[in-house]
Amino acid sequence: MAAPRMMRRARVLTLVSLGVAWSTSLTGPGIGVLLEPRPVWQVLGLVGVVLFSVAHAGVLYAAVTPVARAPWDAAFVVASLLSVPLLAPVAVGRWDTWAWVGASLVGTAPVLVRRWWVMAPFVVVVAVVLSPEPLRALVIAGGVGVGLALMHVLPVWLWDLVVQAQQGREARARLAVIEERLRFARDVHDLLGHRLTVIALKAELAARLADVDASRAGAEAGEVRELAASALADLREAVHGYRAVELDEQASAIEQVLTSSGVRCTVSVPSSLPPAARELSWALREAGTNVLRHSRARWCTIEVVVDGDDVRLTVANDGATGARGHGSGLGGLAERLAEVGGSLRTGEEDGVFTLVATVRS
């Protein structure tokens, strides 16, 4: 709400500044018309001034308003051409009137066209050739014209900067929303992907055991219910704020799940870890999920080492298939680690898949 109000105020101030330039541009021709003693020519001169002033005002208004500028630009050119014969009888013998008309055209030209110098020949004709004192008229047209040009250009230029700044703020706001959505989607994937994979596996196991071992099937179903409740709780925590997962807790949970799935798991985690090690919890969760989902591993090792300022997590298993791709999980994990100055490396050798994630403490 504050931004639109600021834009409205900036636009009003710009229009006021341009209004001063507009009225200044009409000073000389207006005085010439008022001093004309012949009523008929005074009326014709007034018509010329009015045509020029209306088209001039339209051009300035269109410069700071989201309306079509082409009609006003065309109207200004036509009005400028028509004002010359209408003002000619009024300005006979008055070099200052012609000089001011030329200055008005010079001052307005930068708003009308970016290459305003294309109107210079027309201005020379108006201000010099038709004036009884060409040199003086040229000096006035040039000096006053430059001043009027600055009065026209600076407000429009400042307005363009305000518009670009507002567009930049809006673009940054949209980008921030998109980045937040991507981060939240990545976090939800990291948070629930592992749990849902285990739930699916245990539900399938319970279904197979239903006819051969009802008691064990019931136990598996109970674990599915507990895992689902835990996943729901994690999701609620993710919605209300990002959860800080301790790496040793995550390693213990992964070890328990892998062991219950028949994978021999060895875990080595120091008792004291720096806070930055929490970022590796997501890497460990993704690695554990991949062991369950993508491989037929018989063993898995999880090792965390603090090496100076670096905390390194290494997860290896013997279930590599040779066709492992970098899915959205590993891609999102690499992005997350990169945001905190970490890195992710994966490799496969002799049937062993290894994931190495590193962060700086």
pLDDT of the residue at 322: 46
Lowest mean pLDDT among 5-14, 127-136, 242-251, 301-310: 127-136
Lowest mean pLDDT among 168-177, 210-219, 220-229, 253-262: 168-177
**3-class secondary structure, 147:** helix
Chain segment 281-302, per-residue pLDDT in tens:
888 888 887 787 765 788 999 9
Average pLDDT, integer, range 268-274: 87
What is the domain class of 181-360 according to CATH?
A: alpha beta
**3-class secondary structure, 92:** coil
pLDDT of the residue at 319: 77
Instruction: Identify the bridge partners of residue 317 per DSSP, sorted by sequence position.
Output: 300, 353
Torsional sign, CA 287, 291, 295, 297: positive
- Listed in order, the ranges of the chain carrying CATH 3.30.565.10 are 181-360
Strands ordered across the beta sheet of 264-268: 264-268, 299-307, 310-317, 352-360, 343-349
Average pLDDT, integer, range 166-183: 68
Using pLDDT thresholds of 50, 70 and 90, give the confidence band for residue 113.
low
Q: How far apart are CA 81 and CA 63, in angstroms?
A: 21
Chain segment 230-250, per-residue pLDDT in tens:
888 777 766 655 555 678 888
Mean pLDDT for the chain overall:
75
In terms of pTM, does the model score above 0.85? no
Q: Is the pLDDT of residue 316 over 80?
A: yes
CA angle 346, 351, 353 (to 5 degrees): 20
Q: Give the list of residues 6+ apart from residue 211 with CB closer than 8 angstroms, or none.
A: none
What's the half-sphere exposure (Cβ side, CA atoms, 13 Å) at 192? 17
Q: Is the pLDDT of residue 356 over 80?
A: yes
Q: Give the list of residues 6+ apart from residue 58 with CB closer than 8 angstroms, or none.
A: 72, 75, 76
Q: Is the pLDDT of residue 75 over 50?
A: yes
Q: Strand pairing of 264-268 and 299-307?
A: parallel
Q: Strand pairing of 264-268 and 310-317?
A: unpaired
Helices (H), the chain: 2-25, 27-34, 39-63, 70-87, 95-112, 120-124, 134-209, 214-240, 247-260, 279-294, 328-339
